[in-house]
With several copies, the nearest count.
Chain A
Amino acid sequence: MEMTYRDALRQALADAMRDDPDVVIMGEEVGRYGGAYGVTKDLIRDFGPDRVIDTPISEPAIVGAAVGAAMTGLRPVAELMYVDFIGMTMDQLANQAAKIRYMFGGQIGVPMVLRTQGGTGRSAGAQHSQSLEAYVMHTPGLRLAMPATVADAYHLLRQALTKPDPVVFIEHKALYTMKEDVDLSAPALEWGKAAVRRTGDDLVIVTYSRQLHYALDAAKTLSAQGIEATVIDLRTLNPLDFETIRPHVERVGRVMVVSEGAMTCGVAAELAARITEECFDFLHDPVIRVAGEDIPISVSTQLESGSVPGPKLIAETAGRLFA
């Protein structure tokens, strides 16, 4: 069945709400408006305003209330309209949600999901285009899922809604309208497992979220040049599935990591450091980091697209590894 990423997310929410009466959605415009990107469309009609809760524009308290709800028996899906707003909520997220189980000696967990979306692609400017997953990945106690495919949009969200710990779930704004043929009833890949989306013997590309598609595009270009890439989609950044990455790196010996987030101290840095320390003796070249520029994002479309990786940069850079 063909379905968009957006619709798969909605389906996951609806199915989870049907299966678990404790699932509630809360956030700005999630109800009557149906979500700024349409993900929660009609859910308020189907589940009512007590389970699809429109909130005031109060990001810190939205996350804080979700923490409290999760501690007292609900399974809230809090929504941040843009991951760019996570800065207001980092205290509730990192000091409360992430640490409560530990600080309280294991008495209680915080089984909430924080749904949000990030990335470039709509020339939405410096405060609506960021890729801030590194803040989350750096914070012990927070799980982090970033689906790249329609099937994962569905399955990762369903799985996130069964997890005992807080999950930050970051969608990509440029993927909502992406359509794929999926059979949602087919068995899902396990939570926490990376997916090998393509196999080749010359180069391993490790990536996630929208950059998966750019990497696959680039892999096609490279294939035409006789370079065959393995492309790994991490799916979740916490847990990070190194065991899927390792054998490919050891087999191939050349690695590129690709992330849309700013390069310095970002996810690409972690991946490069991790791969290098675990597989040093197998590497012919340093792990190549392709990531977002260390600059804010402009509204100007040409500056915007210039400031994050794309298929061209990935393919060109990979090609030069073999020049």
Chain B
Amino acid sequence: MTLQHPIPGSNTDLHRLYQEMRRVRSFEERVGELFVRGQTAGSMLHLSIGEESAAVGVCAAMQPQDTFTTHHRGHGIFLARGADPARMMAEIGGKEAGYCHGKGGSMHIADMGLGHLGANAIVGGGIPTVVGAGLAARHKKTGAVSVAFFGDGATGQGILYESMNMAALWGLPVVFCCINNQYGMGTRIDQATANTRLHERAQAFGLNGETVDGLDVESVAAAARRIVDAARAGKPGFLAVDCYRFYGHARKDKSPYRDAAEEDAGRQKDPVAHARARLIAAGLVTAADLDALDAAIDAEMDATIDFTIAQAEPPLSSMFRDVYDPSEPEPEPVRTRLDRVLARE
């Protein structure tokens, strides 16, 4: 498994983290555009703009053998893990060339090669998966940690607590990473729970639990390393990354339930801009260097759109494929059944 970081030139950790975050931002802007042009498959598209430090910071703490699941807002995580943005974009476009041959789309993207056990359209649906992956990793001594990424909204789902309890009981190499963008659709976290210090719940079940401010990707990476390393050593953990969902829940949602002042303040918490400013302030790079990097990234991401538009939809014949293993017969199409029934000798 190779982690792809196609744009060379990382010279410091923060520089690399910036670059990764900038790629996520650029990708998300473009996928939103593709959606507006009606070129994505699926009526739902959830952008992770504003949450780049969670994706990049936590993935930076993971090792190649590690596995993970994501929620419905998982593009950034997968990219940070090294996904090919063209194949991602093609999947989101519902094209045969996509990671899942166009069957999954944005909310069901996966790639076993990179340890991506799947995005999920069920809030909380991918959380217990990592408990199983943790059991397997221990059983097979792979040294892998398995990380479940999910939103603050998923803290409403009981299966999170069942999963944390099991992980703690069995000392599994598992991490629960809550990307707290303050909202589940139109519901602010304090409208969904009486105690917003989410990590306290993990502690009550016997896990390591921390909350980190997502403004600073280096802090996120450092916290993630503590949590991930401890999990690898047998003490599972929970990490909440506080951030802000810059735009609507899905591409079309204009967030009428938030006021402008709140949104302005929220968007101040921009991990990409913050990293950029810090890089320049530290004198490691110039604004011009970063502009050039940004332009290269944008060009790479622009190309994914052209690629996707040029790709074909999956053929109708693929419809019955992969319901079961290829060694098994495909389900009988309704039309075939009807042909037989209507034929009657």
Interface residues, chain A, CB within 8 Å of chain B?
A: 22, 24, 26, 28-29, 32-33, 36, 50-51, 53-58, 60-61, 63-74, 76, 84-85, 91-92, 95-96, 100-109, 122-128, 140-141, 143, 163-165, 239, 263, 277-278, 280-281, 285-286, 288-296, 298-303, 306-307, 309, 313, 317, 320-321
B328 at interface, CB cutoff 8 A: yes
- Interface mask (B119-132 → A, CB under 8 Å = 1, otherwise 0): 01111111111111
A91 to B323: give the CA distance in the assembly, Å.
17
Beyond A58-B157, A164-B328, is A299–B135 a contact (Cβ under 8 Å)?
no
Q: Are A303 and B121 in contact (CB under 8 A)?
A: no
Contact with A along B180-197 (1 / 0, CB 8 A): 000011110001110000
B189-207 CB mask vs A (1 if < 8 Å, else 0) is 0011100000000000000
CB–CB B344/A280 < 8 A = yes
20 A–B contacts, CB within 8 A, in A order: A36-B185, A51-B139, A56-B156, A56-B169, A61-B158, A68-B117, A68-B128, A96-B129, A103-B108, A104-B100, A104-B103, A104-B118, A105-B104, A107-B111, A125-B121, A140-B323, A165-B324, A288-B342, A289-B337, A300-B105
> Do A68 and B324 have beta carbons less than 8 Å apart?
no
B44 at the interface (CB under 8 A from A): yes
Is B274 an interface residue when CB atoms closer than 8 A count as contact? no
CB distance from A233 to the nearest CB of B (A): 21
Residues of B bordering A, CB below 8 Å: 41-44, 67, 69, 94, 98-108, 110-112, 117-118, 120-140, 146, 153-159, 162-163, 165-166, 169-170, 184-187, 191-193, 257, 313-314, 316, 318-329, 331-335, 337-338, 340-342, 344-345
Q: A127 and B108 in contact (CB under 8 A), knowing A101-B324, A103-B103? A: yes
* Shortest distance between the CB of A222 and any CB in chain B (Å): 15
Q: How far is the CB of A65 from chain B (nearest CB, A)?
A: 4
Query: Chain A contacts of B123 at CB under 8 A?
Result: 57
Taking a contact as CB atoms under 8 Å apart, the answer to whether A123 and B43 are in contact is: yes
On whether the beta carbons of B133 and A68 are closer than 8 Å, the reply is: yes
- B159 pairs with A299, CB closer than 8 A: no
Shortest B18–chain A CB gap in Å is 31
Give B201 Cβ to nearest chain A Cβ, in Å.
13
Interchain CB contact (< 8 A) of A300 among B41, B139, B159, B162:
B41
Who on chain B is nearest to A263 by CB? B334
Rounded to whole Å, the gap between the CB of B235 and the closest CB of chain A is: 18
Taken together as a complex, chains A and B put the C-alpha atoms of A70 and B192 apart, in Å, by: 23
Q: When the two chains form the complex, which single residue of A72, A105, A122, A320 contacts B103, counting CB atoms closer than 8 Å?
A: A105
Contact of A58 among B43, B69, B146, B165 (CB under 8 A): B165
Nearest residue, chain B, Cβ from A321 = B342
Complexed CA–CA distance, A54 and B159 (Å): 18
State which of A60, A71, A122 has its C-beta within 8 Å of the C-beta of B132. Answer: A71
CA distance A278 to B332 in the complex (A): 14
Residues of A within 8 A of B314 (CB): 298, 300, 302-303
